[in-house]
Structure 1
């Protein structure tokens, strides 16, 4: 069956010099592309807004190619299959994939995953049970590998990655200390997510706060921020501590370097720091996604969402993420 309605898309039309603005994007109408053999057509209901998108807007070497100009802005999405020419995917299936910033996405059926909405809402498969949750799962389980009784610190603890990482660490029997910006976010991290303590990096002497929250030092760190936050953590690391570097948002993802103040800890404390990109480990995604969705279903994994409405709101939602104004996983709902 042919579709005659127009698709609505957001294209990147210029590369930001520093901070992004809505003027870097253009709303475009284009015909819906019907699927070919092995492809599906998805009417997207949700867009995933993630910090890595800012780095893709630069024309610079990275782990992903730069976002092309005058094409649909990349990004994850979730929605319902409305046409299918893939033998294992049916019309009506709920799926997640890299649909980009548009209403209708034509994708290779082999590149999407079904969302088990009996266990978790569809939007959760872009957050706690999706790429951010899997990022938390991989960094914590495969790099930090926490042991019961250890102290684990998680920066950006109220965010979609940090919140899951901390809860998984608690389930492993650890003392978990979050780092967040502002009293409201810190109270959420402790009262709702169950962390043992949370340090407000905007309030007072951060080093003193962190020392008070980690009297036995720090055995593992899930790092999302970098800069002065990571420097303070490094000064508290115990021998043989492990640091999983998921992101360095203090650099704004605009190509600015994020130095470490004192690298002596790598040798004196025999610290292991490892950066990772979760897309390098897609063979583990089904295992991680199933575990995370199961934890949501059993109410042992909590999460929070910030929701913007309408395709036109996506640039502003990304700006909110980069400037720390969102609370939890940032999504755009496509009515």
Structure 2
């Protein structure tokens, strides 16, 4: 059964609703064999505005697949058939071309299976555009909060795999690069999913690209209400530990199916962190699981991942674990969960065998008794 998610009047699917017409393609590619120029940055491609307009059918409204603080994202198809996501950056402060290219190079060189890959860019006039791989299964926000029916296709195992994938992508940004990259805007809408439900973190590096000192960016970050670490209000700066806090909120959101802040809920349940801490403190952890998960986890598996989330949102930023440590905790938990399920299954099989043997033995005994008679 194929699920289609509608969110903010946008349909997220792998189908492209707008491609360049033959005349448009011919007009900008000449003979049809001339592709985008290789950039001088040592990676990626430099695309002309005309190419990207043709790929997105003139940046038309029906090809919009996302809107956020950084800009508008369009679905597009290049002349070679490659599906792409084109992000038209807004409020870019009219950066100089050289400055923009230097910052984009940092993002462009990043390669990790859990990070959305940047293919190239466009710098033309006032336009600043980024071209990404197209991830064709929507984002996590859509699949958690969208209309997917009574039973979510995101099983417990899939959700745990998504959490681990996000952690690996963020660990690469924090610990695998020099200088490290702090995401600064971790939220469910920035976690894309492919057809195998693998997590792809998007929008990393864009805060620095557009200037972290910009009041526009500050306003946007405040707009991601519920994900921002408490110390942000004191320092005004988002750092690695702020990413960890946001990641903890995201784990809670994935487990519970609830928004970080939801004023439609009863008093005491508005703030996800406060509510979850209360539920755990009252030994009601099993009640926090998203009711749309058909097969809930074992109590031990749930408590282990909740512990990780709670450590991530520690009010003391210095007590929050690093992303590498989080991966170790999650992988150990995943291993224990698998072992636990295997043990349960083995016990079940052993019980069945013992029952069968007992019944066979009883049957044999009755048979012998009948023969003796």
Same fold (TM over 0.5): no
Give the strand-richer structure, 1 or 2.
Answer: 1
Larger gyration radius, structure 1 or structure 2: 2
The bucket for the TM-score relative to the shorter chain is under 0.3
Give the helix-richer structure, 1 or 2.
Answer: 2
With the length of structure 2 as denominator, give the TM-score of the two structures. Answer: 0.23
Which structure's relative contact order is higher, taking Cα pairs within 8 Å and 6+ residues apart?
A: 1
